[in-house]
Chain A
Amino acid sequence: MPFVTSSKTQTQYDVIIVGSGAGGGTSAYVLALAGVKVLMLEAGRNYDPIKEPAMFQTPAQAPLRAASTPDKHFGFHDATVDGGWTNPGEPYMTRRSDKPADTFHEAKDYVAFGTKQEWIWWRPRMLGGRTNHWGRIALRMGPYDFKPKSRDGLGLDWPFQYEELAPYYDKVESLIGVWGTNEGLENTPNSPNGTLLTPPRARVPELLIKKHAAKLGVPVIPSHMAILSRRLNARKVAANLHPDHPEAQRISAEEMNKRQACFWSTPCGRGCNIKANYQSTTVHLPPALASGNLDVVTDAMVRAVSVDENGKATGVHYVDKKTRQDVHVKARVIILAASGCESARILLNSKTERFPNGIANSSGKVGRYLMDTVGAGLNGQIPALENLPVFNDEGAGGSMHSYVPWWLYKEQLAGKLGFARGYHIEIGAGRQMPGAGSFTFMDSVAPGSYGRQLKADARRYYGSTIHLAGRGEMIPNDNSYCEVDPERKDAWGIPVLRFRFQWSEHEVKQAAHMHQTFKDIISAMGGRVLGTPQTDGNKAIYPGGGIIHEVGTTCMGADAKTTVLNPYCRAWDVKNLFVTDGGPFVSNADKNPTLSIMALAWRTCDHVLAEMKRGNL
């Protein structure tokens, strides 16, 4: 009885997990396979990852050639339903650069770049959360990334080193399947031999970028993607992950065997019903459900954690969206994995007499240190790629086969760059399926062309454009945070969040450096930039939240006075309350956070299991 309604839940669980994405999925997998009775609450609807994805649909089969609309922000065939930059009935407030300071306005924009909102918040409301949407880019943080303050004096240090999380990266990569190579580059960790899957060949434009970027000292290497380039060796992987637990091995291997290797087509963001890529609903939840130890309630909008007179968590309150009833469920341990900001919102809304500022908040840091990833991008048109012979260069899922890791650590540490933290470059290129707007760039390269000439131009230019996107580290600052709005409530009667967000000079200069690099690479290739390279980073940088990497809002640390969570992501103030989403992050390295969320969640759940065994929970 895995998917249950509110009336069918048990009276008491060992653990309640709020959220079903990367953090919640990992938590459910680790705990349920270890024999713990788990209830998962998801604010959105149930989702069938086998039947629902429109994998091979062409744009012409969708309304408006599948163009983005206010209902489907990433295009019609994107897997995400009931989610995006705006959610009906669930407003949030933000300051705007075009309105007086200290006034908050309801966020209404559904396109990130160019918004006047200080913060733009992307929320999925469906089983699997953001894992339906993410780019499957799976990068390990490196040794420097855990001790940034020790290295350059800025931001905060994590309460442990890379070596502490490394074994959990190993486990996560083994289970979800990540392709990539060990390059031995600075602060770009290798994985143990045999962990990574063989990457596919580079796409042709990626090879050309590599050739010309080398002249600039910019390295192009195989990407690390959570996509199976071959099937997993299920028995071996499961045996390594669950050495003392034959039943867990059997269940894990059985579900792993249902995953097929990538067939080198269709965008990952539409979902993958052969289970070749990682998403929570195809990798983490099936074995957790198969264990018989997991119940899931969907359409369950958690509003607060309940605590007893001793300050111990007793359960959570949620609004059942189907019945609009307020429901209370109980457990010995509460794990929040609702996303950085949503988990902070739940804590802040869990006010009691004893905790007037919300629970787990004696430090006052819940909602603070809100971080996103620095983003900026440019398109280029490359004459060398024009009029190529026809061939299949589609590859895996619209995802990059190659990327550029940050390459200027030494120059940066020597103070030569003017900004403190690095970025990597994501490459978009190849002969992909045309969609709405694919040829709009011809307004720049072939203005006024029509007739037979336009057809000839389309043949000439198709496949000749590249996109370079920088994804960089942000340093936490005091001007970026979320808090509960004193007045506004959502459709469920739950107080909403309001946001303030500011980039520092480090991020703004980094964005300008990105544009300069992209321009240099495109020029080195003999190409022309489409659009305007900006020397003012403020004109290049995405708004806060635009890259959908919200982290830091329940930060962990070694000091209960200045952090929300202890080094095991356990609330200092509430000993049976844990957070396993991006909230515990102390810094936000350029290595996109999902893989680290999963590694951290696994480590936290191992700690929960050990503490349960010791009788401490």
Chain B
Amino acid sequence: MTPTSTPPAVSAEIPRISRREALQWVMTASATLALMPNSLSAADSAAPVTAKPYGTDPLLNHTYKPGDLWPLTLSADQRLTVSALCDVVLPADDRSPSASSVGVPDFIDEWISAPYPNQLRDREIILNGLASLDADSKKRFNGSFAGLEAAQKTTLVDTLASAEKDKTEAAKPASFFTTFRDLTLTGFYTTPAGMKDIGFIGNMPLTRFPDPPREVLEKLGLV
């Protein structure tokens, strides 16, 4: 499978047993992507991650916010770029708000600031990708990405996205676009607004497990 930034495909949609399968991809990703620091990279110029991991016995029944467990990374300018790009990836529409309005940039910042191998790998990809996006933006449109017109943003993101469409599954490296999109999807669809948008109903106690709507069974030829 594609090396990805997060425990992959269907991992949370399926029982714990199969989560093991899902985790294989994280493993593959971390094994194949060596952390090769580029001496000129944006990731290098950010402060190194020195925070402590949360350990093997953290308090589970508790609500954490990005920044609670380790310091965040993004500068004000980087945050603007992340917010703008999040909202190109998942903009507001008539069903749900934009990614930036439900805290996805905070989540991405938390992710790339975490003291764990997969996150340190993504830190390189994201920070370098943001720098490169802003550089392209300045070169082509004479301004930082966050300040561009919608059509200009689309032009730049189209270039990144179209490269993904042409790749075969096996040959895909963990590109900036794919990594950023995966993080945005994870960040957004784990919020109440995102769950509502895709139609997840659950995480609530019921006295009985309700039958599926007849419409569903009919559609599937199960009546």
Contacts and interface: CB of A to CB of B under 8 A. Distances in A.
Interface string B45-70: 00000000111111011111000110
Nearest to B119: A64
A201 B17 contact: no
Given A392-B201, A458-B185, A447 B12 contact: no
A180 interface: no
Given A53-B61, A459-B198, A439 B213 contact: no
Interface stretch (A17-25, A394-402, A563-571, A579-587): A394-402
Given A57-B63, A388-B216, A394 B9 contact: no
Interface string A430-455: 11111111111111100111111011
A246 B144 CA distance: 79
Contacts of A399: 15
A68 B13 contact: no
Given A437-B7, A462-B198, A64 B114 contact: yes
Given A63-B69, A391-B201, A440 B182 contact: yes
Interface residues of A, number: 115
Contact of B13 (A432, A469, A530): A432
B6 to A, nearest CB: 4
A448 B164 contact: yes
Interface string A205-225: 001100100000000000000
A12 B139 CA distance: 81
B37 interface: no
Given A113-B21, A530-B1, A448 B165 contact: yes
Interface in A81-138: 81-84, 87-88, 109, 111-115, 133, 135, 137
Contact of B198 (A79, A270, A458): A458
Interface in B45-101: 53-58, 60-64, 68-69, 88-91, 93, 95-96
Interface in B167-218: 167, 169-170, 172, 177-178, 181-182, 185-187, 189-192, 194-195, 197-213, 215-217
Contacts of B91: 451-452, 455
A315 interface: no
Contacts of A77: 60
A450 B13 contact: no
Contacts of A114: 24, 27-28, 31
Interface stretch (A155-163, A260-268, A322-330, A353-361): A260-268
A67 B7 contact: yes
A438 B110 CA distance: 18
Given A71-B53, A111-B24, A432-B12, A63 B220 contact: no
Contact of A379 (B21, B200, B204, B211): B21
Contact of B9 (A57, A135, A530): A530
Interface string B122-158: 0000000000000000000000000000000010010
B164 A264 contact: no
B186 A81 contact: no
Contact of A392 (B69, B182, B185, B210): B210
B19 interface: yes
A293 interface: no
Contacts of A72: 54, 56, 58
B149 to A, nearest CB: 15
Contacts of A379: 9-10, 21
Contacts of B181: 443, 450, 454
B201 A394 contact: yes
Contacts, number: 353
A426 B9 contact: no
A63 B189 contact: no
Counting chain B CB atoms within 10 Å of each CB, which of A69, A87, A444, A449 scores highest?
A69
Nearest to A44: B57
B42 interface: no
A455 B196 CA distance: 12
Interface in A232-286: 263-270
A177 interface: no
B89 A467 contact: no
Contact of A439 (B18, B21, B189, B199): B189
Contacts of B90: 450-451, 454-455
A113 B202 CA distance: 30
A390 interface: yes
B2 A68 contact: no
Contact of A394 (B8, B93, B203): B203
A428 interface: yes
B162 A391 contact: no
B186 A437 contact: yes
A213 to B, nearest CB: 13
Contacts of A263: 205-207
B220 A67 contact: no
B216 A436 contact: no
Counting chain A CB atoms within 10 Å of each CB, which of B13, B88, B154, B210 scores highest?
B13
Contact of B8 (A69, A441, A447): A441
A458 B181 CA distance: 12
Given A52-B60, A437-B11, A462-B200, A447 B165 contact: yes
B171 to A, nearest CB: 12
A69 B116 contact: yes
A560 interface: no
A463 interface: yes
Contacts of A1: none
A398 B61 CA distance: 19
A317 interface: no
Contact of B89 (A70, A385, A454): A454
Counting chain A CB atoms within 10 Å of each CB, which of B26, B167, B192 scores highest?
B26
Counting chain A CB atoms within 10 Å of each CB, which of B58, B119, B170 scores highest?
B58
Contacts of A426: 15, 17-18
A430 B13 contact: yes
A437 B205 contact: no
Nearest 6 pairs of A and B residues by beta carbon = A435-B12, A428-B14, A441-B9, A113-B24, A394-B202, A263-B205
6 contacts: A201-B211, A395-B209, A430-B13, A436-B186, A438-B185, A530-B1
Interface of A: 45, 51-54, 56-65, 67-79, 81-84, 87-88, 109, 111-115, 133, 135, 137, 200-201, 204, 207-208, 211, 263-270, 375, 377, 379, 384-385, 388-400, 426, 428-444, 447-452, 454-455, 458-459, 462-463, 465-467, 469, 530-532, 542, 546-547
Given A75-B7, A113-B24, A437-B6, 10 more contacts: A63-B68, A63-B114, A135-B15, A204-B216, A377-B21, A389-B219, A432-B12, A434-B186, A437-B4, A440-B2
